Amino acid sequence: METRIGVIGGSGVYQIDGLDGAEWVEVDSPFGAPSDAILTGRLGGVEMAFLPRHGRGHVHSPSSVPYRANIDALKRLGVTDVISVSACGSFREEMAPGDFVIVDQFIDRTFAREKSFFGPGLVAHVSVAHPTCPRLGAACAEAARDAGVTVHEGGTYLAMEGPQFSSLAESRLYREVWGCDVIGMTNMPEAKLAREAELCYASVAMITDYDSWHPEHGSVDISDIIATLTGNADKARALVARLPELLGPERAPCPHGCDRALDFAVLTAPEARDPAMVEKLGAVAGRVL
């Protein structure tokens, strides 16, 4: 099987450079229009697909990002491995602005988003006990180190609805009581949907600030965030440039089973499945349907 790397770029990361045969392509999805066209090409001999999560020009808020359409579109392009790159705040002194965190756990506090491809007429339950792919996360960590980035392997990401930043009370709750490490607005339901689509998913959280808990930093300053975003975006592009060599052009089955997440997930009996839902999920779940 051929590797095809999909990169979902967050705030500040709206393109990747150096692709051979670079082309922006429109992908139709039964879940609506994706955030933008998808930049395709080859990098280091490996197929790549880049999707700006917020759209070029940053037109989507965290709540309006069409998460289902984005994951469905990447699956339709043959993507095997998805790397999420996103800005976040830090709850840990040692996780400083400019550092990257390879997230391995989430607490989902979003409430205004469609969180599953499945539903009435075609019911399925996947496990997200371990919502990211360790193999892919390890490759991202190595790529970050090669790019000269201070990287922390492992961390819990609090996904909030936004678009406002946290209150001081919320920030303290997430840090001191819940034990979260970083906070952001976009990795959920993205990670859940990637699992339903049987895609390996890794989350690279780029720290821009200390949220509001830090006594020496106080409230989040958007001007400081934007300044840090610029530097982080350059680091993110350097990380992505290393991935084709680390992952290689040939793709073996995922040792952690990400690409087989639907093996026992669909509960609706074949004769009871809604034909319209079956057709709609052709890309996401066609392997098991």
Structure tokens at 247: 């992952």
Question: What do you get for the CA distance between the two ends of the chain, in Å?
Answer: 21
* Rounded-to-integer distance, Cα 202 and Cα 200, Å: 7
**Parallel, antiparallel or unpaired: strands 151-153 and 46-52:** unpaired
Largest CA distance in the chain: 61
Distances (CA, A) of 248 to 10, 70, 117, 146, 240: 24, 24, 30, 16, 13
- The pairing of strands 100-103 and 200-209 is antiparallel
Annotated catalytic residue 108: no
Specify whether 209 is catalytic.
yes
**Number of neighbours of residue 22 by Cβ within 10 angstroms:** 16
Residue 60: alpha-carbon gap to chain centroid: 15
Q: Tell me the CB-side half-sphere exposure of residue 148, using CA atoms within 13 A.
A: 6
- DSSP assignment of 173-217 equals IIIIIS---EEESSSTTHHHHHHHTT-EEEEEEEEEE-TTT-TTT
Choose, from 104, 181, 211, 259, the residue flagged as catalytic: 211
> The tokens 């998805």 sit on which residue?
82
**Closest C-alpha among 156, 172, 7 to residue 88:** 156
Catalytic residue among 209, 221, 263, 274: 209
Residues that are catalytic:
209, 211
